[in-house]
Structure 1
Amino acid sequence: MNSVFIIDDHPVIRLAIRMLLEHEGYKVVGEADNGCDAIQKVKECQPDLIILDIGIPKLDGLEVLCRFNAMSTSTKTLILTAQTPKLFATRCMRSGADGYVCKEGDLSELLSAIRAVLSGYNYFPSQALNGNNNETDCNEELELFKVVNDRELMVLQLFAQGRTNKEIAKGMFLSNKTVSTYKKRLMQKLKAKSLVELIEMAKRNALV
C-alpha cells in the first residue's frame, strides 16, 4: 500500500483528497497546511508520494519543493494546485516535481497522475510545457516572466490578490523591506511603471 502526505492550506480540499485516496486504497500518513510544518512532518514519515499545493503560507510550495528535492529521497511529489500551468508547470518540473495537476480538472485526472508518478513516469500538461500560445502579446510577457524567480512570482501573485506589503511580509516570513525590494525587482524585470501595471500583468497571465 503506497503512503501519501497531503499539503494544502484548505481543510475541505485536504479532506476531499484524503477520502478519494483512501477509497482507492492509498494510505494517507499525514497532512500539513503550511510549508514549515510540511517539511518537518515529511522528514518524519517518509511517504511514497507528496501531494503539494503551491499557494501555501509560511514557505510557499515552490520553496518547499526545492527543499524536498534537496533531501535526495525516493519520495515522489505531485503538484495539485489552482495556479496557472503556463507560468508554474515548467518551474515545478525544474524544481524536482514529478507531476502537475490543476484543481479545476476532474478528480479522475488526479488519480491518473498519482498512478503515473508512482509508476515512475512524469505527468505534466503538455500545452503548458510546449508554450502553445498564439497571442503575441502574451508570448512576449511570458518571455519576461522567465527572468522572474520563484519567490518573486509568489510575491507578485499576493500583490495581485490585493495583499499589502505588511500582509505579504507576515505570510511569507519576510521583512517589509524585503517585500519592497521584491516589488522593485518585479517592476524592473517585467518593465512595469507601477504596482497597478504589475497587477494587470498578473491578471492577464492568470495569476489570480
Structure 2
Amino acid sequence: MKSVVIVDDHPVIRQALRLILESLGFKSIHEASSTVEVVPMIRQHRPTLLILDLKLEGGSGLDVLERIRSNGLECRVIVYTAQPPDNYLQRCMRAGARAYISKTDSLQQLINAVNAVMAGYTLFPEFLDCSVASLSNERQQIEHLSDRELHILVQLAHGKPNNQIAHDLNLSHKTISTYKTRLMLKLGLSSLVLLREFAKRNHLL
C-alpha cells in the first residue's frame, strides 16, 4: 500500500496535498507540522514517500533531511517549498532529497515529481545544474554556511530576537549569540540592518 507523510505547517496546504495524493492512489496519508514530529512518524508509519516543506515549526526541513539520513531511515523525499532553489536546492540534493518543487510551480509539476520519485527517478530544476564557481561572491558565501547557520541567518533577518530563536531551536541564548557573531564575520557584515539587506538581496526572505 502506498503511504506518505506530508510535512507542512500550513493546514490548507496539507489538505490540498492530501487531495492530490488521494487522487494518485495513496491510501495511508499522515500529516506533521513541525520538525520534531517527523522521525517518530516515519518510524511508526514507515511511509514510502515524504513531502517536505523547508520552513517549519521548530527548525528547518534541512534538519529533517539530516535526521532521516543520520537515523538510517528509508524514505523518498520530495521538497515542496516556497524557498528559492538557488540557495537551497544543492543542499537538499546533498542531504538525499529526490525532487525539489517550488510552490509557485503548477500542481502538475508536483504530480510529475510524485510519479517520478515513486518510479525510482529524481526531478530537479534543470537550470540549476551550475557549479558553485559560477555563482556570485555572495552566493558562494551562502553556500559555505552550514545548514544551521543558514537557518539562523534567515531568522535574524526576519527580526527574531536571540532568545526566541534559542527557544525555537532548543538551544541556549549564548549559542545563538555565538552563531550571530560568526555569521557577521563570515559574511563581512557589521549590523543586523546590513544582514537583512543581504538576505533580501539573495532572496532568503
Give your verdict on TM over 0.5: yes
Post-superposition offset of 1:28: 4.0
Distance 2:179 2:16 in 1: 35
Query: Amino acid of the residue matched to residue 195 of structure 1?
Result: L
Q: Which residue of 2 aligns with 1:189?
A: 186
CA offset digits 1:76-118 (Å, max 9, x no partner): 0110111110010000111111111111111110010111111
Distance 1:112 1:77 in 2: 14
Q: Which residue of 2 aligns with 1:78?
A: 78
Percent identity reads 41
Q: Which residue of 1 aligns with 2:11?
A: 11
Q: Which residue of 1 aligns with 2:152?
A: 155
TM-align CA RMSD: 1.8
1:158–1:59 distance in 2 versus 1, CA, 3 Å: closer
SS at match of 2:114: helix
Q: Does 1:202 align with 2:204?
A: no
Structure 2 residue runs of 5 or longer lacking an equivalent are none
Contact 1:89/1:129, CA 8 A, preserved across alignment:
no
SS at match of 2:54: coil
Contact 1:86/1:129, CA 8 A, preserved across alignment:
no
Q: Which residue of 2 aligns with 1:145?
A: 142
Task: Give the total of aligned pairs.
Answer: 205
Distance 2:185 2:128 in 1: 25
TM (norm. structure 1) is 0.92
Contact 2:9/2:32, CA 8 A, preserved across alignment:
yes
Match of 1:174 among 168, 171, 174: 171
Distance 2:20 2:188 in 1: 44
Distance 2:131 2:102 in 1: 17
TM (norm. structure 2) is 0.93
Distance 2:162 2:74 in 1: 38
Query: Amino acid of the residue matched to residue 90 of structure 1?
Result: Q
Contact 1:6/1:28, CA 8 A, preserved across alignment:
no
SS at match of 2:105: coil
Structure 1 residue runs of 5 or longer lacking an equivalent are none
Q: Which residue of 2 aligns with 1:91?
A: 91
Moved over 4 A (4+): none
